[in-house]
Amino acid sequence: MEEFMTRYHQWLASDKVDEETKAELRALEGNDDEIEFRFGSYMTFGTGGLRSKMGAGCGMMNIYTVAQSTEGVARVIETLGDEAKARGVIIGYDSRNNSALYARRCAEVLTAHGIKVYLFDELRPTPMLSAGVRYYKCIAGINITASHNPAAYNGYKLYWEDGAQPTAETADYVSSFIYSTDIFDGVPTRDQVNEDLITMVGRDFDEYFMEKCIGEQVYPDVIGRDADNLEVIYTPLCGAGYRIVPEVLRRIGVKHLSTVDCQMTPDGNFPGLAKPNPEYPAAFEEGIKVASTVKSDLIIATDPDCDRVGVMARDRSGEFHCITGNQMGSLLLDYIFCALEEQGKMPEDAYAIKTIVTSEMATKICAVHNVELYNVLTGFKFIAEVIGEHEERGEGTYMLGYEESYGYMKGDYSRDKDGVVASMLICEMAAYYNLKGMTLIDAINSLYEKYGYYMENSAEIYMEGLDGKEQIAALMNKLRGANPAELAGSPVVNIRDYLAETSKNMITGEVTGTGLPKSNVMYWATENGNVVVARPSGTEPKIKFYILANGADRTAAETNTVACTNALEDMLGMAHGSLKK
């Protein structure tokens, strides 16, 4: 009998599996492909934890895989001694179906080991979980969320004592404990919970967090000066930002705040949202309807766990446009620098952080403002590492960290992207430009005129199913064999394979290290500064592609973007126009 089928029958036969789950499993009888999909392998516990569709099976998110993972975390904490157990673990969750149930199961397993637990009394934004780790001085944190994935998914994010997601070394160590644990007999039962070790986290911590967010204002009086003109629409996309974000905006002086009422109630089914992701224009359809009523020029959306934020803004003709993550990051970076300089508050030792797949406009902005810029791999844990290193050395003033996928972080109280503080800063920035007679679309165009024309394109190829991982690996290997001489008419001068940890100078032939941790990423750079990057997603069955182009003017930048995309399609053996976001 195939191993996946053996596991399937073990679950059916176990007296630890509830009858509802067994009924779901019995309904799969005869569907060997689905059984293999669910039982063919375990979910991979990476630096971002776990993420998968919900359902019965060892390769799915369910009460049993959540308990097994938490058992592994508990056993790691036990090796650290009684002090670590007393410091405890803080647990949060978002609006997804079963998130509260999974969070409660985590608390049961941990307290059975004598580990203190801080459990949020209702759903909260992800950055609050990260901030909670630091505030309560916990040894770790667990957040039940699948971020912006469709409704069928859920996930398990692990945070370590600095409030950031763990390094690959720590994640591998935790994984070794998880997968050496029997999923049924090795996990405490639900009646072994120690309620005395659970402290509920409520509105007092909300006040702390909101105070910290508000403390990150750059121009504290700018919204007050534009309060009568600033019209803002907000939607949490049925997620965890529904209460905290509007409250922060009201407290900083936003008088005209409208909400998308049909999306203000937390709902794990995300009605009307195929993808509750503010990267996609479709997520703003209901917001645009509200905008037509209240005549707002600005719509802000946060994803279900409120760590990402997207924006649509009107241009002067009245048409709404999505502001990309790259554009918003550049806008915020320039705004923060300019606003501080105007007030004489710009620190001399300022530094900022972006990921290698994020627009190179940041490089120019930081150079003009004499700010040191760090480039890191995708993931806020790498941004957090740079901040931690500076703190240890006691040097540098952190200004902003961000990535193109709509994640921004300002302040030192959290170590993850923060849709709450970002929403606040976006409103503040909109008021700043309003006072100058400019829309945010005008502001983007002014950045191009000031720093040069940078255009980006991103695309993805989904590879789901039983052989999805093998297809992704094969396609990445194909790209590793590609050695284009030029991209968009400019010679390729550098090829980096972050998995092999090599950076090859194509002019001299010299091969050096990448200077960054090992990761499954390919990177091509041209003489004129265009960049193409390919990397598999860490949370979804897909490969993501990034085109970072520039040009002497808008037309040249757009032309180079298309040409680089065509070159990537040639490397993939695809027809031009095949790669779409």
Q: Catalytic residue positions?
A: 147
Cβ-based neighbours of 81, under 8 Å, separated by 6 or more = none
The amino acid at residue 244 is I
Q: How far apart are CA 389 and CA 295, in angstroms?
A: 46
Cβ-based neighbours of 72, under 8 Å, separated by 6 or more = 45, 174, 175, 177, 178, 179, 180, 181
Q: What is the DSSP string of 22-50?
A: HHHHHTTTT-HHHHHHHHSSPPP-BTTBE
Q: What is the DSSP string of 488-521?
A: TTEEEEEEEETTTTEEEETTT--EE--SS---S-
Q: How far apart are CA 452 and CA 6, in angstroms?
A: 60
Cα–Cα distances in angstroms (integers) from residue 555 to residues 244, 448, 551, in the given order: 42, 12, 8
Cβ-based neighbours of 1, under 8 Å, separated by 6 or more = 9
- Asked if 163 and 415 count as a contact pair (C-beta separation under 8 A), the reply is yes
Phi-psi region of 575 (alpha: psi -120 to 50; beta: other; left: phi over 0): beta
What are residue 456's DSSP bridge partners? 548
What are residue 233's DSSP bridge partners? 258, 299
- Residue spans of beta strands (DSSP E) within 418-568: 453-462, 486-487, 490-497, 502-505, 511-512, 522-526, 531-536, 542-551
Determine the distance from the C-alpha atom of residue 193 to the mean position of all C-alpha atoms in its chain, rounded to a whole number: 32
Q: How far apart are CA 355 and CA 516, in angstroms?
A: 11
Pairing state between β 320-323 and 309-314 = antiparallel
- Asked if 387 and 372 count as a contact pair (C-beta separation under 8 A), the reply is no
Q: Which residue, among 465, 235, 241, 218, has the nearest Cα to 335 in the 3D structure?
A: 218
CA angle 157, 158, 161 (to 5 degrees): 145
Tokens of 347: 């620190």
Determine the distance from the C-alpha atom of residue 250 to the mean position of all C-alpha atoms in its chain, rounded to a whole number: 26
Q: How far apart are CA 262 and CA 284, in angstroms?
A: 12
The amino acid at residue 418 is D
